[in-house]
Structure 1
Amino acid sequence: MQENKGSLSLNDQFTAFINDHHLFTKSNRLLVAVSGGVDSVVLCHLCKEAGFDFGIAHCNFQLRGEDSNRDELFVREWSQQLNVPFHVIQFNTKQYAEEKKLSTQVAARNLRYEWFKKICDEQGYDFILTAHHADDNIETVLMNFFRGTGINGLTGMQPVHQQIRRPLLFAKRLELEAYLKRHKLSFVQDASNLHDDYTRNYFRNTVLPMIAKTYPEVQQNLLDNISRFKEVDILYRQELSRVAKKLLVQKGEEWYIPVLLLQKTPAMKTVLLELIKTYGFKATQLNEVVQLLNSDSGKYILSSSHRILKDRKHLIISPLKDFNKATVVIEEPGTVDYTGGVLHLMQTQKTVPEPGGHVALLDAALIAYPLLLRPWRAGDYFYPLGMKGKKKLAKFFVDQKLSLADKEKVWVLEMNRKIIWVVGYRIDDRFKVTDKTQSVLKIEWRSPSKKPMI
C-alpha cells in the first residue's frame, strides 16, 4: 500500500486539496464528524498535523449494542489524545425511524446533520467536516447510475455542500489505511460495513471487486470519469439555463411551458425532466408528463408539492393548495386578506354605475352578514348582471373564455347560499344598484400581487 501520489505526501495533498477548492482556512473553526473508523481517524490526524482549529462530534445511534458504546468511548479517548473539544449525543434511532416512517439509514443521516448544525450554531463552528473519500465517491456514482439520477448524479459528491466540507475526496481508501499504519493510529471497525445488508456495502464488497477482475483499473477510470462528468455538467447547466429562459414563463405562482416550443426543443425529454425536477417530479414520471403534451385539456400529473396541468397550448406547473381550508367568513365591512387576493368592503351613500369586474357595487339594503368568501365549486350558479335567468359558473367561464388555470383561481362571495359576486368578474343581478337604492356596499378586489385600494 502506497501513501504517496508522485512526490507529495498525503499531508501535502490534503492541504493542496483544501486550498485548491477553497474549503476553509486556519482562521475557521471546524467540527469534524468522527465515527472512529479509519477515515475519520485519519482526517482528525491530518487536521491536527496541519494546525487547524477543530472539535470532534460523535453520534451514538444505539444500533449495535455494546459496539456502539465501545465506539463512543474510543472517540472520546481519541479527542483527549488530540486535546480538542469533544461533543457526543445518543439517539434512539429506531424509534425515530418508526415515527418518521424512514429507513434506518435515512433516519440516522437526518439526526446526525441536524445535530451537527445545532452544535455549529451554539459553539461557533464554521464548517462541518466529513471523511468521505474517493472510494465513497465511486460507490455513490455507481449507485446513482443504477438509480437513474441523470448526469448530475454522475458527478458524485462535491467538496463543498452548504456548510459541509469533504477534504478527503482526493484520497483512496488504501492511501488512508497506509497513512494509518505509518503513524500507528488506532481505530474501531464497524462490523456492519463487512456485510452486504446495505446497498453501499454491496457495491463496495461485491460489485466493484467483481468488476476489477476484468478491469483492474476500474477505480482510477471511474475517478477520471467523475472528473470529466463534472466539467460536462458545467456545460450542461449553462445550456439548460439558456433553454429554460425560453421555455418557462412565470405568471404569479405558476410556470407556463408552451407545448409546441417544447416539442421542437432538442433533447426534449432531458430538458423537460430538468425543468420539472425542481417541483418534486421524479424521473419515473417523465413519460406520463410527455403524454400530457398530446392529451386533452384538463389532464394533469401530481408530485408531492406541485401539479402539471395540460391547458390547451401549455403545460402549467402550479403549487398544490388545500382549498377546503380556504373559506373566509366576513362579519362586517373592512379589509379581508385571503389567498386569492385582498377585498375591501365599505358602505357608502354614493351611487355610481357598475364600474367593472374588480369593483362590485351592491344594494346594501339587500346584504345581510355574515358573507362567505370561498373558491367556486362545480354546480355553482348565479344570475349574471343584465340577465334574468340563472347560469352555471362553469358555462359562464366558457363564455368568458377562461383557461382551466384561471378557473381554478376564481372565488365567489356568497350570502345565504346565494352568490352575490363572482369575484373579479360579475355581480349577481338580484343585488345590483337601482334607482331605488339608498345605500351602496362597495367591494374592491386586488390580486395577491397588488395592494388593495383603500
Structure 2
Amino acid sequence: MDLITQFKNYIKQHDLFTQKDKLLLALSGGLDSVVLCELCHRCDFDVEVLHMNFQLREAESERDAAFVEKLAQQYTWPFHLKKTQAAAESERLRKGIQETARLLRYDWFEACRVDIATASGKRTWVLTAHHLDDNIETSVMHFFRGTGIAGLRGMLPVQGNVVRPLLFASRQQLQQFAKEQQLTWVEDSSNLLETYARNYVRHSLLTTAERIYPDLQNRLAGNLARFAETEALYKQAIAWHRKQLVEQKGNEMHLPVLKLKKTIPLQSVLYELLQPYGFQATQLPDVMSLLDAETGRFVASATHRILRNRAWLVVSPTDTIDAVTILIDGPGLYTFPGGELQLTEREYRKEEGLETDATTAILDARKISFPLLLRKWKTADYFYPLGMRKKKKIARFLIDQKKSKIDKEKIWVLEAQHRICWVVGHRIDDRFRVLPATSKVLGLKWKPA
C-alpha cells in the first residue's frame, strides 16, 4: 500500500480531520515536515504553514525559515513566521533549551490556531510531522525517566488541538516517499549532537539495540499499540479508585489514610492521583511514609503540599491564598482566604499586660510546637474558651455569640497538636493562656480579608 493511501486511511481510522477543516502545518523544513506538506497537497486539504525561528543556530536558523517560506509559496499556502530568542527565554524561565522551545512553540501554535479559526469560521487543527520513529524514541525516553502508562504509550494521534497524522509511518517510509517524489529538505545539524537526550536515544541506544533485535522497530511499535489499549483499561481502574478515595474540598484533595492503606496497587493509584499536582514518581516513598506519620508532616512539589492531618492526607496549593488547610511552620506572615495572619515570637514581661482586641491573641509559647494548622472549623470541633475549665463545642460557642449562618462559614481556627488554641477573631483556648511563669509568648495578629 502506498504512503498516500496509508495517510488517508490513518486519518479516517482515527477521525482526525476532514476536507472542511483548516490545517496549520507546523514545519521545520526537515524530511518529515516536507513529506507532510506533499501528502496534504495531494489530498487537497485547506492548509496554512507555521514556522518558528528560535535563532539558536544563527545562519542555519535563517536558512530553515527561508526554506519553509519558499515551500509554502510553492504550494500557494499562507505562511506565518515567528522569531524568538529561545536562549534568553530559557534563562528567564530557568528551563532547558529543548523544554523552553517546546513551550514557546506550542503556545504560539495555539495562539495562531485560535486567531485563524476565528477569522475563517472553520474547525482548525495544528498538524505536526511526528512519525513512528519519533514515537518510539519518546516512549523509550519516558521509560528511562520514570513514567506512568501514559508515557509508555507515547504520543497520541490527537491531543487537544494538535494532530499527528504521520505516527503510522517510519522514517524509512518517509525517506523512500521523498526520494520517489524528488522532494528536497534541509538538515538540522543539532540533530547529530548527542548532548540532547533524544539524539542519544536515536543514534546510540536504539541503534545498538537493533544489533541484538533486528526487528526492534516492529517490536516497539507493537508495544505502543498494546500500551495504548492497556492505558484504556488502566484509566477505568484509576477512575474507580478516584471515586472511592477522593473528597474534593475547594482547591484541596482529601484522601482517607485508612482507605489508602487498603488500596491495591497503592503506588500506582497514588502516582496517578498526585501526578497532576506536580509530584514525581521518585517522591512516592516519602508520600507513602505519611500514611504512618503524625499530623503536620508533609511532602511538597513545586506547586502543592501533601499534609498529614489526622486521618487524612490533604493535597493543597502551596500558595496559601487558595488553600483550605494552611500549614504554619513558624513565625511569619501567612495569607489565606480569610485574610492575613502574622505570627511573632518574643520575650514576655508581666508589666506589658495582655490587652488585646478581637484580631489579636497572645499565647504561651511553651505550649506551642510547630507546625500549626490554620483551617475552617468543623462541626465536631471543641475548645476550652478562655476563663472556662470545661470544654465547649465551637458550634455552641458560635450560637452563643449570635453568629449568623454566613458568619459561621467564615470562621477559622488555629490548631496545635490536635488542640484548638484560637478561634480566630473570637477567643483563645484557656489551655494556652499566658501564666505568671510564662517567659515567651506567641503573638497572633489577624487582618481580615
TM range (shorter): 0.7 to 0.9
Deviation, 1:375, is 3.6
* Aligned residue among 234, 237, 240 for 2:238: 240
Q: Residue 33 of structure 2 corresponds to which residue in structure 1?
A: 40
Task: Show structure 1 runs of 5+ residues with no match.
Answer: 1-7, 328-337, 341-372, 411-418, 434-439, 450-454
Q: Residue 249 of structure 2 corresponds to which residue in structure 1?
A: 251
Distance in 1 of aligned mates of 2:267 and 2:71? 52
Deviation, 1:287, is 0.5
Distance in 2 of aligned mates of 1:253 and 1:303? 16
**How far does the alpha carbon of each residue in 1:68-116 deviate from its partner, in whole angstroms, 9 at most, with x for none?**
1111111111111111111112211111111221211112112211222
Distance in 2 of aligned mates of 1:230 and 1:197? 30
Deviation, 1:206, is 0.6
- Give the 3 Å change call, closer, same or farther, for CA 393–81 of structure 1 in structure 2: farther
Instruction: For 1:336-415, list aligned pairs within 5 A.
Output: 339-340=337-338, 374-375=340-341, 377=343, 392=363, 407-409=374-376
Q: Residue 291 of structure 2 corresponds to which residue in structure 1?
A: 293
Contact 1:379 1:392 in 2 (8 A): no
Stretch deviating more after TM superposition (308-317 or 283-292): 308-317
1:169 match: secondary structure: coil
Distance in 2 of aligned mates of 1:221 and 1:269? 28
Distance in 2 of aligned mates of 1:312 and 1:397? 18
Given residue 92 of structure 1, which amino acid in structure 2 is its aligned partner? Q
Contact 2:49 2:80 in 1 (8 A): yes
Stretch deviating more after TM superposition (131-140 or 264-273): 264-273
Instruction: For 1:89-238, list aligned pairs within 5 A.
Output: 89-124=82-117, 126-238=124-236
Q: Residue 283 of structure 1 corresponds to which residue in structure 2?
A: 281
Given residue 298 of structure 1, which amino acid in structure 2 is its aligned partner? G
Contact 1:93 1:108 in 2 (8 A): yes
TM-score, normalized by length of structure 2? 0.75
Distance in 1 of aligned mates of 2:341 and 2:110? 42
Stretch deviating more after TM superposition (256-265 or 168-177): 256-265
- Give the 3 Å change call, closer, same or farther, for CA 191–293 of structure 1 in structure 2: same
Q: Residue 269 of structure 2 corresponds to which residue in structure 1?
A: 271
RMSD, matched Cα: 3.4
Distance in 2 of aligned mates of 1:67 and 1:391? 68
Deviation, 1:264, is 1.1
1:87 match: secondary structure: strand
Distance in 2 of aligned mates of 1:212 and 1:326? 57
1:237 match: secondary structure: helix
Q: Residue 76 of structure 1 corresponds to which residue in structure 2?
A: 69
2:183 match: secondary structure: coil
Q: Residue 305 of structure 2 corresponds to which residue in structure 1?
A: 307
Q: Residue 352 of structure 1 corresponds to which residue in structure 2?
A: none
Given residue 172 of structure 1, which amino acid in structure 2 is its aligned partner? S
- Give the 3 Å change call, closer, same or farther, for CA 80–326 of structure 1 in structure 2: same
Given residue 259 of structure 2, which amino acid in structure 1 is its aligned partner? L
1:64 match: secondary structure: coil
1:315 match: secondary structure: strand
Q: Residue 383 of structure 2 corresponds to which residue in structure 1?
A: none
Distance in 1 of aligned mates of 2:61 and 2:362? 71
Distance in 2 of aligned mates of 1:223 and 1:120? 31
Distance in 2 of aligned mates of 1:203 and 1:269? 28
1:158 match: secondary structure: coil
- Give the 3 Å change call, closer, same or farther, for CA 51–442 of structure 1 in structure 2: closer
Distance in 1 of aligned mates of 2:202 and 2:32? 15
Number of residues paired by the alignment?
Answer: 370
Report % sequence identity: 40
Distance in 2 of aligned mates of 1:240 and 1:58? 39
Asked whether 1:445 is paired with 2:407, we answer yes
Contact 2:132 2:166 in 1 (8 A): yes
Task: Show structure 2 runs of 5+ residues with no match.
Answer: 322-331, 347-353, 378-385, 387-393, 412-449
